[in-house]
Amino acid sequence: MELDDLKPYLQHKIVTDAEKNLQAVNKEMLYKRSTNIISKINSNLLMELWLAIGALAFFIYYAFYGSVTWAKNYILILLPILLLFYWQIFKFYKQIKVAETMADSNVLSSLTSTKNLLQKFIRNYLVFNMWFAFLCIAIATLLSIQANSNGQAAFITKLSNWQVWLFIIFCWAIFLVLAYLFTKYWIKIFYGKHVHQLEKNIRELQD
């Protein structure tokens, strides 16, 4: 049997399916949650946003009502970073909205734009996470040194010691490597297969 011989059978099969009314388009169907990759990223972004809001709320609370009042200064440093995080999230959210409008462009354009968006998202996500992790680690290290110092003068003395800085840099390096590996793993779990599938399809179309 050749492919052309299949035409009447496929038509018949589909008509039969439709007749059975297994599925028919109705209004309710159009307001359900989408399951495609772009929508998944969208919901992941929303989750990140809520996490960031939670972190922000915690830091603000700790800055103004926490027992360690001097932590305020560090938290004031952290706040712009969190705000930058929000800005990044909203920027991607906007881009994703644009990508959703690619549904009716040709298949190659749609696949390419989705892949580019996904890769851009992954790059930015990695850079931002590293930056955020670095800041958190830096603050945590400085806070622990301050907590172990008797007053501001002792704290400054400690910070002027190069051996202390060597230790700080060592801690940062270790944590940053761990944060990098964790983020990479996280990205691979969530988006790795999607990117691979998109690349495969694009290659096949262009072949």
Partner 1 sequence: MQTNEFVIELNKHQNILHKICYLYANDAADREDMFQEISLQAFKASNRFRGDAKFSTWLYRVALNTAIGWYKKEKKNKVTTYTSNVPETAENQDDIEEQVKAMYKAIANLSTIDKALVTLYLDNYSYQEMGDILGITANNVAVKMNRVKTKLKEEGKKYYQTS
String of b and e for 10-26 (b: at least 16 CB within 10 Å)? Answer: eeeeeeeeeeeeeeeee
Task: Tell me: does residue 194 bind partner 1 (CB under 8 A).
Answer: yes
Candidates 109, 116, 152, 157; binder of partner 1 (CB under 8 A) is 109
Candidates 95, 110, 141, 149; binder of partner 1 (CB under 8 A) is 110
Tell me which stretch binds partner 1 (CB under 8 A): 3-11, 42-50, 82-90, 137-145. 3-11
Q: Of 20-59, which residues contact partner 1 (CB under 8 A)?
A: 22-27, 29-30, 32, 34-37
Structure tokens at 30: 């159009």
Task: Tell me: does residue 205 bind partner 1 (CB under 8 A).
Answer: yes
- CB of 199 vs partner 1, minimal distance in Å: 13
Task: Tell me: does residue 8 bind partner 1 (CB under 8 A).
Answer: yes
Closest CA to 41 of 102, 87, 93, 103: 93
- CB of 160 vs partner 1, minimal distance in Å: 55
Residues binding partner 1 (CB under 8 A): 1-3, 5-10, 12-18, 22-27, 29-30, 32, 34-37, 100-111, 114, 193-194, 197-198, 201, 204-206
